[in-house]
Structure 1
């Protein structure tokens, strides 16, 4: 254990690598959930007989 604290490069790798792995894991999890939500919404829309949401009609916007 003492050798770990003697080498700053090993200490840096030991602290940075777990953080990097955690960040990559969160990003991958975000994209998997996002993909699942998008496909789930499309499947639900198809099962109800609907299609993609039509584009908004052109014209002046309502001021609020």
Structure 2
């Protein structure tokens, strides 16, 4: 009976560790996706800022 309980407890501990590892991987993937989206948005913002500067330069050249 003691050996059976030890095996059951060991299995439950292993299941808990595996579940924890799976959750860590899920969170890591979520964080990675969020960072990727953030970088994409920052790059789009940078491109738009560069285009605004180009257009401002064109406007100034027409004003002269």
- Structure with higher Rg: it is 2
Moved over 4 A (4+): none
**Structure 1 unmatched runs, 5+:** 51-64
Q: Give distance in 2, aligned partners of 1:49 and 1:11.
A: 57
Which protein is richer in helix relative to its size?
Answer: 2
- Note the C-alpha offset of 1:6: 4.3
Task: Give the length in aligned residue pairs.
Answer: 47
Higher relative contact order (CA 8 A, sep 6+): 1
**Structure 2 unmatched runs, 5+:** 50-64
TM-score, normalised via structure 2 length: 0.62
CA RMSD of aligned residues (A): 1.8
Q: Give distance in 2, aligned partners of 1:36 and 1:22.
A: 21
Aligned equivalent of 1:31: 30
